[in-house]
Structure 1
Amino acid sequence: MPSFSPIESGPDGYVRTHLSAGVGRVEFYHPKSNSLPGAVLRELASTVTAISQDPACRVIVLQSGGTGPFCAGASFDELSTIADREQGQQFFSGFAGVILAMIRAPQFVISRVHGKAAGGAVGLIAASDFSFAVEKASAKLSELAVGIGPFVVGPVIEKKIGLASFSQMAVDADWRDAAWCERRGLYAKVVPDVTALDAAVDAQAATLAACNPQAMAMLKQVFWAGTEQWETLLAERAAMSGMLVLSDFTRQAIGAFKAK
C-alpha cells in the first residue's frame, strides 16, 4: 500500500491522495466505521475533482482506511444535529458532490471495497466504473430503517444495477452478500481477501494507466450518458432527505440506532 500525502478534513476524519505511475489513489477515513460527515464528503468531492484534473493521473482508485467496514454511510452523529431543511439539504448534497465528481472525472474510477458498505457507501461504489470487493463485503441500503430513503444515491445505484435490484435493496433494508452484489453488477469482481483485493486493484489500475486516456474519457461519456441533468436531480433528492431527517420518526429512529 502506498504512503499517502494527507489532506486533512478535521480531527475526526481525513481524505488523502497518492499519485504514482499514472494511478491516483484517494483514501477517506473516519474512526466511526468510515462514516461520512459533511466535512469529509466535501473534501472527498473536491479531492476527486482535483486529481481528475491532473494530466499525470490516468486512473483513479477510491478506497477507505482501516480494516473494518469500507464505509458506514452518513454520519449519524451529524444527522442528529441537523436543525432545518437548508442544513439537511446541504448535508445530503455532500453525497451528490462525490457522486458527480466521480462520474464527471475523465478517468475510470476503481473502487476498492475491503469491507461492508451501508447506505451512501453503496452510491459511491455504484458511481465507480469498476469495483473490486472481498467476499465479506456485504452491502445494504439502510435509509428506510431510519425514516429516510436512498434518494440522493438512488439514481446512480439504479443506473448501475437496474430498477428491480435497487428497489429490492431500498425496500428490504437488510444485508446483501458480495455474491449478490456481483451478480447484480454493483461489484465487478469479488476476491477472497484483502491480499487478493490489493493484487487485483493494482493490476487493473496499472493496465488502465497504460491505456489511451482519450479512449477512456470517451467511454466514460458513454457509461454516464443520461446523467446530464443530475446536478438538478440530486439537489432535489437532497432536499427530500433534508426534509425527512427533521421528522419525529427519523429523529427517534436515529436516536435508537445510536443507543445500540
Structure 2
Amino acid sequence: MTTISISFPKVGSQAYLLCAMRILWIAMPLAILLPLHLLWLLLKLPSPWAMLFLRICARALGARVTVYGKPLRRDVFFVANHISWHDIPILAGITGSAFVAQDGVRDWPVIGWLAKLNRTIFISRSEKQNVAQQVAELREAIAENWSVTLFPEGTTSDGRGLLPFKQSLFATLAPPPKPMMIQPVYLDFGIDGPDIAWLGEETGWESAWRAFTRPGSYDVGVHFLEPFDPGALADRKIVCALARSRIAAALSSKLGYSVT
C-alpha cells in the first residue's frame, strides 16, 4: 500500500482561512453539480455540468479568463502549452474537453476520481510502456470523445518559452481515428506565469497548497489559434511541428522575441 505524506509550510492563519474559503467555493457547487452530472451520464446525455464545475474551480483559484479566437466545439484535438494544473479547469471550463494525463493522476485522492468522471485519458510516461499500445489506447479514446486536449510538452514551463513536443503522441492523428481537426491553443498567464507555474522539485500537494493560499486573482488569456486538418498531412512529425510552430508564433508575438 502506498502511503501519501502531506506536509504544509508554516504560514499565518490568513493562508489557512483563504484555503478554507476556496475549498468551500469549490465543494458547494460540487455537491449540487455532481449528482446532476451522474444523472446525465446515466441517461446517456451530454453533460454540461462538468464544464460548469471546472469553470467555477478556475475562478475560485483566482483565474480571470479572457478568450481570444473561436474554439471548435466537437471533433477537435486541442494542443496547448502547459504551465500548471490550473490549465485544466481553465481550458475545460471553456471547451468541456477531456484531457490526456499521466496515469499517476488516476491514483490521486479525489482528483483522480473526478478526472475519470471527466473522461480523462490516462497514459503511461514510462519508457518501458509499449508505444504502439499507448497509441492504440489513445486512438480508441479519441474516437469516443468529442474533444480532447493534449499538453505535448509532457511537463510544465514558466510560460516564457516552449519545450519540445513529444512526437509519439501525434501518431494517433496520422491519420486520425475519425475526421477531426487540430486546434493549437496558447495559454498566456502574463507576468504571473512564473508564480503560477508548477516547476522544479515542488510536489503536487505543495503546488496545490500554493494555489489555494495565493492571495488575489490573476489574468489569463486563452488564445484559440487557427485549426488545421491532420489528415491532410504526411506524418506525425509534420503534424507535431505545425502545431508547435503556431503556438510558438503566438508566444513570440506576446513576448516580443522569437521562441524556437
Using structure 1 for the length normalisation, give the TM-score.
0.30
Higher-Rg structure is 2
Q: Which has the higher contact order (CA 8 A, sep 6+)?
A: 2
Using structure 2 for the length normalisation, give the TM-score.
0.30
